[in-house]
Amino acid sequence: MIDTPLLKVSGVSKFYGSRIGCKDVNFELWPGEVLAIVGESGSGKTTLLNCISTRLLPTTGSVEYRMRDGNFRDLYHISEAERRFLMRTDWGFVHQNPADGLRMTVSAGANVGERLMAVGDRHYGKIRQTATDWLGRVEISADRIDDQPRAFSGGMRQRLQIARNLVTGPRLVFMDEPTGGLDVSVQARLLDLVRGLVNDLGLAAIVVTHDLAVARLLSHRMMVMKDGHVIEHGLTDRVLDDPREPYTQLLVSSILQV
Amino acid sequence: MTADLATYNFAYLDEQTKRMIRRAILKAIAIPGYQVPFASREMPMPYGWGTGGVQVTASIIGRQDVLKVIDQGADDTTNAVSIRAFFQKVADVAVTTHTKDATIIQTRHRIPEQKLTEDQVLVYQVPIPEPLRFLEPRETETRKMHALEEYGLMHVKLYEDIAQNGRISKTYAYPVKVDGRYVMDPSPTPKFDNPKMHMSDALQLFGAGREKRIYAVPPHTEVVSLDFEDYPFEIQTFEQDCALCGAHGVYLDEVVLDDRGGRMFVCSDTDHCEDRREHGHVGAMLAPNQEAAE
């Protein structure tokens, strides 16, 4: 059905001086697929995510993305203008801390509408209508549209951040610990929502998390990282049910059973 | 008088500095709306008094020029009087309060009501040249946004205005797009004056001394105020006419007269008001007095 990947990552390494951020990472991501990157703190998950999403220049390697015209472009060989345009139209980036991804001093409606205005939407009524729709889809009631995110709870802020990213209909979303800092019941709802949106919109996503439950619920495939290396890579259920590497076995067995 | 001037170069700045500023001005004219960095000098007046405008004026003024300085439209306020006196002292140039006689008009916060001609240069004093400053505090980022023409954020501000107040509540320093490319802060002039910048016959130069930026709008250049399709840009309107000269469709200042709610609206452009009165126009406040005198 779909015969070409959306994203090709080959030989990506990032060194901080002599220390390794991540080393020689290769993978492909297919449209509609959710890939989880798991590992302990400091294992290079976020470094890798930043390298792929052009937020951090890798030391070596290439990241190729299939543009809407069907051609692959190396993200580090396109102009900065194209890259930034890509980031705010075809991509989304959900930060762990919503304050990093939102404009905290403008209203929820303006937060959602920003990307629309950035691509040239100039009709206030239509922007507001779209923003209202999206707030509804992430379960924020329409009467909060003029409130600033400062007045929102952690879970609401995270949902608002998701709405803000999805409003332009991106094909690829990066998420860095999207449920970090939320309590368990809010986490569950958020995961449910994200899973629904990803399915409905056919999004591809790369989710960085240290929480194996998040990986289990959201992702189709997962990569396990340790000390900057990808040590195991496979279908999520396979990796979690039948971990091969000793470290992965340790990781899986250390999940608290209630 | 001239003997005293020996201690100053003509128009205060030394010739090399003027050259540097003229270069910045030429570049600014070549790229309408683009903020050109320049090595702003210490001037013998505090920042906020128009050191940027003064440096621009000092660099372009010649002995034959006639200078007019206005502050909020008025020729007789401290800022205007001081800068006018400064140039009389250091350049010994002719000064005027009449818009039509001036070749260079340095202004703070207004554009004269009378249409400017191609023989005139309007020099603005600018406090904060960066229109995106309060939306994005990082200079590195705003420069990138200008370079890549990423101006969505400006509309976020306007969106927010409408969402909170039901209309675009920005009344001064209203952002404009120059020549279809750069978004520019027209300095804190009321938005009433924005349409006057569009396709103006006069050259418009903007100097920000503290922020070390010069930018320009060349004559006959498109200057479009940003807005939404369903919330178009509009200028202030006044219900009253000028109380002294009866002018309509000009920018008026509200003057409080007493502590019992008494107030009057008068032309902010004093020269325009005086000129009209000389030509026999009389406003509501002067009319009864005349009757009493008769």
What digits encode the pLDDT tens for the residues B138-155? 999 999 999 999 999 999
B11 phi/psi in degrees, rounded to 5: 65, 35
Where in the sequence numbering do the catalytic residues of B fall?
33, 242, 245, 267, 273
Q: What is the pLDDT of residue A2?
A: 62
Q: Which residue of A has its CA nearest to B145?
A: A81
Which residues of chain B neighbour A113 with C-beta distances below 8 Å?
A: 156, 159
* pLDDT of residue B2 exceeding 80: no
Higher pLDDT, A255 or B176: B176
Q: What is the pLDDT of residue B272?
A: 95
- Residues B187, B276, single domain; the answer is no
- Residues B121, B199, single domain; the answer is yes
Residue-wise burial string across B234-244, b where 16 or more C-beta atoms lie within 10 A, e elsewhere: ebeeeeebbbb
- Residues B100, B204, single domain; the answer is yes
Cβ distance A81 to B230 less than 8 Å, yes or no, reads no
Q: How far is CA A210 from CA A22, A177, A179, A194, A218, in A?
A: 16, 7, 10, 17, 13
Which residues of chain B neighbour A124 with C-beta distances below 8 Å?
A: 159, 162, 228-231
What digits encode the pLDDT tens for the residues A30-66? 999 999 999 988 899 999 999 999 999 999 999 999 9
Residue B138 lies in a domain: no
Residue B158 lies in a domain: no
* pLDDT of residue A253 exceeding 70: yes
Rg (CA), chain A: 18
Q: Is A230 on the interface with B (CB under 8 A)?
A: no
- DSSP-derived pairing of the beta strands B213-217 and B203-208: antiparallel
Q: Confidence band (pLDDT; 50, 70, 90) for A258?
A: low
Residue B144 lies in a domain: no
Q: Confidence band (pLDDT; 50, 70, 90) for B123?
A: very high
Helix axes A108-118, A80-89, angle to 10 degrees: 140
- Residues B74, B121, single domain; the answer is yes
Q: What is the pLDDT of residue B3?
A: 58
**Which CATH number covers residue B210?**
3.40.50.11310
Instruction: Take residue B154 and report the two structure tokens written for it.
Output: 């400006």
- Residues B218, B270, single domain; the answer is no
What digits encode the pLDDT tens for the residues A166-175? 999 999 999 9
Distance CA B18, CA B110 (A): 26
User: What separation, in Å, do the N-terminal and C-terminal C-alpha atoms of chain A show?
Assistant: 41
Residue B31 lies in a domain: yes
Q: Confidence band (pLDDT; 50, 70, 90) for B4?
A: low
Range of the domain at B74: 3-131+175-225
| Percent of chain A residues past pLDDT 90, beyond the cut | 75
Distance of CA B33 to the CA centre of its chain: 15
Residue B76 lies in a domain: yes
* pLDDT of residue B294 exceeding 70: no
- Residues B99, B202, single domain; the answer is yes
Distance CA A212, CA A214 (A): 5
Higher pLDDT, B22 or A119: B22
* pLDDT of residue A193 exceeding 50: yes
Q: Is A176 on the interface with B (CB under 8 A)?
A: no
Q: What is the pLDDT of residue B290?
A: 53
- Residues B278, B208, single domain; the answer is no
* pLDDT of residue B289 exceeding 70: no
Number of structural domains (chain B) is 2
| Percent of chain A residues past pLDDT 70, beyond the cut | 98
Q: Tell whether the torsion through CA atoms of B54, B55, B60 and B62 is positive or negative.
A: positive
Q: Confidence band (pLDDT; 50, 70, 90) for B293?
A: very low
Question: Residues A68-96: what's their mean pLDDT?
Answer: 92
User: pTM for the complete prediction?
Assistant: 0.86
Q: Collapse the DSSP code of A82 into the 3-class scheme (helix H, G, I; strand E, B; otherwise coil) and give the result.
A: helix
- Residues B101, B241, single domain; the answer is no
Q: Which of A84, A124, A145, A150 to mutate to test the interface with B (most CBs of B within 10 A)?
A: A124
In degrees, rounded to 5, the angle at the alpha carbon of residue A141 between the alpha carbons of residues A137 and A143 is 135
Residue B151 lies in a domain: no
Cβ distance A124 to B153 less than 8 Å, yes or no, reads no
- Residues B80, B182, single domain; the answer is yes
Q: What is the pLDDT of residue A183?
A: 85
Q: Which residue is associated with the tokens 């080393």?
A: A23
Q: Confidence band (pLDDT; 50, 70, 90) for A255?
A: confident
Distance CA A44, CA A48 (A): 6
Q: Confidence band (pLDDT; 50, 70, 90) for B1?
A: low
Question: Hey, which residues does B106 pair with through a beta bridge?
Answer: B69, B123
Three-state SS letters, chain B = CCCHHHHCECCECCHHHHHHHHHHHHHHHHCCCCCEECCCCCCCCCCCCCHHHHHHHHHHCCCCCEEEEEECCECCCHHHHHHHHHHHHHHCCEECCCHHHCCEEEEECCCCCCCCCCCCEEEEECCCCCCCCCCCCCHHHHHHHHHCCCCHHHHHHHHHHHHHHCCCCCCECCCEEECCCEEECCCCCEHHHHHHHCCCCCEEEEEECCCCEEEEECCCCCEEECCCCCCCCCCCCCCCCCCCCCCCCCCEEEEECCCCCCEEEEECCHHHHHHHHHCCCCCCCCHHHHHHHC
Question: Residues B222-235: what's their mean pLDDT?
Answer: 95
Q: What is the pLDDT of residue B249?
A: 92
Q: Which residue is associated with the tokens 């006069």?
A: B202
Q: Which of A81, A115, A123 sits opposite B148 (nearest CB)?
A: A81
Q: Which of B146, B153, B154, B155 to mutate to test the interface with A (most CBs of A within 10 A)?
A: B155
- Residues B62, B94, single domain; the answer is yes
Q: What is the pLDDT of residue B6?
A: 57
Max CA separation in chain B (angstroms): 67
Q: What is the pLDDT of residue B292?
A: 46
* pLDDT of residue B91 exceeding 80: yes
Residue B282 lies in a domain: yes
Q: Where are the beta strands (DSSP E) in chain A?
A: 7-16, 19-29, 34-39, 60-66, 72-74, 91-94, 172-176, 204-209, 221-226, 229-235
Q: Is B232 on the interface with A (CB under 8 A)?
A: no
* pLDDT of residue A243 exceeding 80: yes
Quickly count: other Cβ atoms within 10 Å of residue B85's Cβ.
12
- Residues B57, B102, single domain; the answer is yes
Distance CA A255, CA A221 (A): 19
| Cα-based torsion angle of the residue sequence B4, B5, B7, B12 in order, rounded to the nearest 10 degrees | 150
Q: What is the pLDDT of residue A185?
A: 86
Q: Is A80 on the interface with B (CB under 8 A)?
A: yes
Residue B78 lies in a domain: yes
Quickly count: other Cβ atoms within 10 Å of residue A52's Cβ.
25
- Residues B211, B121, single domain; the answer is yes
Mean pLDDT of chain A: 92
Q: Collapse the DSSP code of A183 into the 3-class scheme (helix H, G, I; strand E, B; otherwise coil) and give the result.
A: coil
User: Residue B9, exposed/middle/buried by CB under 10 A (0-12, 13-18, 19+)?
Assistant: middle
